[in-house]
Structure 1
């Protein structure tokens, strides 16, 4: 069992690092309770985020049911603090959930978590870094560095809606046996294409990433 160390939401702010001229990557901790519900398909006119009070600005590339909640672990942030030599507050990577005792990168696609008393989420996708992320962190060569380090955290979809608060327990309810983690998906879609065949039969993987893997497998094989 892990813990929801910090619950983070973001509001729109102007940026020159996004095609839409705005971002909500600057997530700030809130105590809760925060209602979490499936936002619907990407670009359906809603907020794009599962968390009440959280915003998504680039609806073409972010948000929707398969990127409803983004989780990153405090342990991974601590590793980056050591490597970058700077403090990294909860929410700075744009994560909604900063976890403690839950390895988000090693979470299996299709793994289900219960947070608090009712909310159930399912790990469904990995994070691919973009120029908005790089511009926000203001680190030279950040996309390359993040890609090489391969600590992407995980995106989750909402299975059962509920309210959550900072400090809630996180319980892993089930884990599939295919061995494909968010980290494996990330490596397959970036620097290790030999892993791509592992992705195509993982039904819980977000369709946009599964289809991308399938297209590349067909090209290569």
Structure 2
């Protein structure tokens, strides 16, 4: 496994309906060695901190396999950073990707998976397709947010090592599916809230379920 690209952005204006808003979704690859701290990639920009970023969603990961699938669906090549991810990786580990799985990159950086990415209107506008959010949901290829357990520097080409959790935490694709249903399955809800979710995801899930935030 390998780190294929490190991507970051400066704030850029984008048009949503009749409004112009800032976004940090226009990520571009960098060849530099980059420090990834508790709040994410040095030099990156996160604008809407209500639903993005923070210590529990510091880094967003997307895989080359999912890029290949989307390139086939859209009939065009997609450069790293297209999906707004900070790190483009060769693959997620074999088997089910779960909240609580850990990923070591290079010598020191250690990440822990916390939630799937949930698409928004800015994402659709960036892709130039108002229906892209629905297509992204149907595809079930959300990528994953992670918290930084150990700060480190990374360089394109660094080796990756997955450390799957031994706990029965909710899996990322299952959580992404439940997120877009009218109501959560009770067993999945219990499994999700028992997992080391990001604070943002836990708050939203708890609110939708009508229960006190357990985080």
TM-score w.r.t. length of structure 2: 0.88
Moved more, 123-132 or 98-107: 98-107
Q: 1:122-143 CA deviation, whole Å, 9 max, x = no partner?
A: 0011111000000000124111
Pick one of 184, 191, 197 that aligns with 1:193: 184
Q: 1:132-163 CA deviation, whole Å, 9 max, x = no partner?
A: 00000012411111111111000000000010
When the two structures are aligned, how many residues end up with a matched partner?
207
Q: CA deviation at 1:12?
A: 1.3
Distance in structure 2 (CA, Å) of the matches to 1:105 and 1:145: 24
For the 8 Å contact 2:117–2:144, the answer to whether it is kept is yes
Mapping of residues 46-195 of structure 1, within 5 Å: 50-102=40-92, 106-191=96-181, 193-194=184-185, 195=188
Distance in structure 1 (CA, Å) of the matches to 2:90 and 2:116: 19
Aligned partner of 2:5 in structure 1 is: 6
TM-score w.r.t. length of structure 1: 0.86
Distance in structure 1 (CA, Å) of the matches to 2:27 and 2:96: 23
Distance in structure 1 (CA, Å) of the matches to 2:94 and 2:82: 16
Q: CA deviation at 1:216?
A: 3.5
Q: CA deviation at 1:120?
A: 0.4
Distance in structure 1 (CA, Å) of the matches to 2:139 and 2:91: 20
SS in 1 for 2:41: coil
For the 8 Å contact 1:114–1:120, the answer to whether it is kept is yes
Q: CA deviation at 1:104?
A: 10
Mapping of residues 14-29 of structure 1, within 5 Å: 14-17=13-16, 21-29=21-29
1:173/1:104 CA distance change after superposition, 3 Å: closer
1:177/1:131 CA distance change after superposition, 3 Å: same
Aligned partner of 1:211 in structure 2 is: 203
Aligned partner of 1:45 in structure 2 is: none
Q: CA deviation at 1:208?
A: 2.5
For the 8 Å contact 1:116–1:169, the answer to whether it is kept is yes
Distance in structure 1 (CA, Å) of the matches to 2:108 and 2:25: 27
SS in 2 for 1:135: helix
SS in 1 for 2:76: coil
Q: CA deviation at 1:37?
A: 0.5
Q: 1:36-59 CA deviation, whole Å, 9 max, x = no partner?
A: 1102xxxxxxxxxx1111111222
